[in-house]
Chain A
């Protein structure tokens, strides 16, 4: 099994629908992240969590929310999806050491029509 598992891997939805992307990890890491990848823009941080009681906004959090249900689970929600949220979404985890190395999931491709 993968260290970081994302579900669903692909999702097509319509404008205005609520969508949840889920992430679970077996690394035992406290830190979890959600990134969005768009062509030519690299990866941009949406939200991050350093432990179960800690949630922080990243650089592009508008239109998104997250929930850290447990150390191993971190979900991303789009309350009312819009077409410009069409992107590839990555969950990642890291340990607490300073020079953090991220372990990424395989990605969730979301298309909003």
Chain B
């Protein structure tokens, strides 16, 4: 079955440190891939998406993600964390043969220490 896995329900980094949030999918067919962010008491908003163009995708707020087909991964990174990055991050995937419905990972809460 097609699925998406986020490793680590909580990630804590110091302000200024590298942010790395992990996402892996299970499918023999490369999907469309997304990262969404949820700030407290808000809905989800799109950070970035991969749609089979460049494998390194740049998003908003300095985030980027790299699609690696051989590793079935789409990890999210940011070189230097800011306090305002504290939020919950969701990886999501969709496939053409499932009518492009999004399947979400379980989420990773990013904590940024001063």
In the complex, chain B residues 16-70 whose Cβ is within 8 Å of any chain A Cβ: 32, 34, 36, 41-46, 49, 51
A100 to B104: give the CA distance in the assembly, Å. 13
Partner of B106, one of A40, A50, A101: A40
The verdict on A43 contacting chain B, using a C-beta distance below 8 Å, is yes
Number of interface residues of B (CB under 8 A): 25
A74 at the interface (CB under 8 A from B): no
> What number of A residues sit within 8 Å (CB to CB) of B?
23
When distances are taken between beta carbons in the complex, the residues of chain A under 8 Å from B105 are 42
Chain A residues whose CB sits within 8 angstroms of the CB of B94 once the complex forms:
99-100
Q: Are A98 and B96 in contact, with the CB atoms below 8 A? A: yes
Contact, CB under 8 Å: A104 / B106: no
Give A96's nearest chain B residue, CB to CB: B100
Chain A residues positioned under 8 Å from B36 (CB to CB): 102
Chain B 91-102, CB-CB to A under 8 Å as 1, else 0, gives: 000101001111
- Chain B interface (Cβ < 8 Å from any Cβ of A): 6, 9, 32, 34, 36, 41-46, 49, 51, 90, 94, 96, 99-107
